[in-house]
Each structure stands twice: as C-alpha cells, then as structure tokens.
Amino acid sequence: MSAPLDLTPAASKDSVIRPRRNGNSRNTEVTRLLPRSLLISVTAFLCAIVLIPMLYIVLASLNTDVGVANGELIPSTFTAENYSKIWTTVRLGNGLANSLLVAGTTAVVCATLSVSTAYVLVRFTFKGRLGILRGLLAMQSIPGTLMVLPVFVLFSSAATYLGVTIIGTHWGLFLTYLTFALPFSTWVMVTYLRGLPKELEEAARIDGASSMGILFRIIIPLSWPGIVVSGIFAFLLGWNDVLFASVITRPDTQTAAVALQIFGAATEGGAVPPYGQMMAAALVCAAPVVILYLIFQRYLVGGLTAGGVK
C-alpha cells in the first residue's frame, strides 16, 4: 500500500517547523546594556544627583537667611522677598543686560562665521587647509588662564599706541569671547558639514548656482542643528565666564557672573550672609540658559550626534 501524498504547501511546513521570531524584542535585548531594574535604578540615581541640589536651591531662595543658616531643608516661613531684593543689592539687572548683550552677540557672530569658514575648509582644497584644521584643534588645548595677562596687555597697548579704548567696553569683551569660541564652533561645523551629501551641491552647480548661492540656499538651511550647537556653546562661554569679565570690564559693563562673584565676596565676614538672595540670584542667572536649552533641544540632539554615523 503506497503512502499518502503530502499536499501541505512548503510555506506552511516552514512556518510549522521554524516559528517566526519577534525581531523587535530581539533588537531590544541586544541594544539594552543593563537589565531593566538596574537601568531604572541608575536613571533615578542620576536624576536625584541633579534634582536634589536644584530643589534645595529653590527652597533656600524662598527661605530667610536665618533659616538657611540654621540648616532648614524645608522653610518654616516661605517668603519671596529675596527675589525682589536682588535687583538692588546685587545689581543683577545691569549684569543680566550686559551678559545678554555680549553673550548673545558672540553667539550670533560666532555661528555665522563658523558655518562660512567650515564650508570653505570642507568643500575647497587649498594650500594650508590641513594646517588651519590642525590649528583649530591645537587652540582648544590652551587653557584660558594662560591668556588673561596677554589679552589684557594687548588691549591696554591698543589704548596707548592706537588711541582705541578696549578695556572696560562691551566690544572688548565681545572680541575676547569671539577669539576663544570661534575655533570650537568652526570645528563643530566642520564635523557637521562633512556629513552632508555633496550631490546636492553638484546638482545646484549644474543648475548654475554660485558658491555663495549654495552656501545660503543649501548649506545653511540644512545645517541649522550644527549652527544652533555652535551658537549655544559660544553663548555659554560668554555667559559663564568670570575670569576675563572681571579683568576687562568696569562696574557699568560687568556681567551677571561677575556681579554674583562680587556680591558673594562682599558678604563674607558678616553676621548672617544673605544666603536666600544668593540662591535667588543663582536661579535667575540660570533661567536664560535653561530656557535656551528647552527652546533648541531638538536642534541640539541633531547637532551633537551629527558626524558620528556615516
């Protein structure tokens, strides 16, 4: 007696013999470096390191100076007087205005110059190109503390020999920040532009576009994440700097960081230092940077990761 014929399709046999695997779960297991419980614990620990000091600063800014000095974590009496006093005792308004003017101008000019400079360094070949790129990296290794005295002597000499006053002016501080921020911003844009496809520029040249037209119509619209990153880093350099601002500025051009430093030094040796006003002033000075990060968050992620994957 002959064996019965097997009329089951080949696809059905394969599906029975080899069950379908879930690719998504496998990829999740491969890419996950830590177990889920340990990952949650590490994330919670890192968030606590950042949020607990911030929470203490917020509570201390709403507390009295005596309460902060006594070590009260939660204020016994909540008060908002510290936020109203800092505008007269710390002269925070003048410092914030100077910081916004100098750091904002530095960020805009630095982002504009860095994208055009990086476009030339990436897309054109000329003598000394590699030397410029290596020089940009070498300038990042020079500590800023070594440049304070040379910069001060150079600016002072300009007033003596050229009759141009630089010390104590806004644009003198702007030139200082631009000198240190432009190499880093240019290197960020060089890394970003290397990841842009050249085919778009070649197609534009076939249509008759010039180099300036390609820069303004193709490169800049596609480079917003990198431009934002370079501008924000330049802004932070000017916003957080105390060393150069304390040497180059005068009382009416002092930045917010210098005003906080002077306020903290002036209150030393007193009966009860104004801890509440210090905490309130620190929060007010940190607010513009936090707002800036929240506004440009999506650009920051794209700009910082650009060039990492080809």
Going from N- to C-terminal start, the domains of the chain cover 90-305
Q: Check if the beta carbon of residue 284 is closer than 8 Å to that of residue 262.
A: no
**Mean pLDDT to the nearest integer, 262-288:** 80
Cα–Cα distance between 130 and 124 in angstroms, integer?
11
pLDDT beyond 50 at 17:
no
Average pLDDT of the chain to the nearest whole number: 81
pLDDT at position 102: 94
CATH number of 90-305: 1.10.3720.10
- Polymer length of the chain: 310
With cut-offs at 50, 70 and 90, classify the pLDDT of residue 113.
very high
pLDDT at position 192: 86
Instruction: For 281-297, give the DSSP string.
Output: HHHHHHHHHHHHHHHTH
Cα–Cα distance between 260 and 239 in angstroms, integer?
12
Amino acid at 201: E
Q: Supply the angle between the helices 256-266 and 275-295 in degrees, to the nearest 10.
A: 160
pLDDT beyond 70 at 8:
no
What is the DSSP-derived secondary structure letter of residue 189?
H
Amino acid at 175: L
CA distances from 141 to 97, 137, 144 (A): 31, 7, 9
- Residue 52: its H or E element: helix 36-61
Cα–Cα distance between 272 and 277 in angstroms, integer?
12
Q: Token pair 């820069």 is at which residue? A: 215
Percent of the chain with pLDDT over 70: 83
Q: Supply the angle between the helices 275-295 and 297-305 in degrees, to the nearest 10.
A: 70
Q: Check if the beta carbon of residue 103 is closer than 8 Å to that of residue 238.
A: yes
Cα–Cα distance between 177 and 13 in angstroms, integer?
71
**Mean pLDDT to the nearest integer, 191-198:** 85
Cα–Cα distance between 142 and 50 in angstroms, integer?
30
Q: Residue 296 is encoded by which pair of tokens?
A: 């440009």
With cut-offs at 50, 70 and 90, classify the pLDDT of residue 293.
confident
Pick the residue with more confidence: 9 or 228? Answer: 228
Percent of the chain with pLDDT over 90: 14
Q: Check if the beta carbon of residue 89 is closer than 8 Å to that of residue 277.
A: yes
Amino acid at 36: R
Q: Token pair 């998504």 is at which residue? A: 24
Q: Check if the beta carbon of residue 76 is closer than 8 Å to that of residue 67.
A: yes
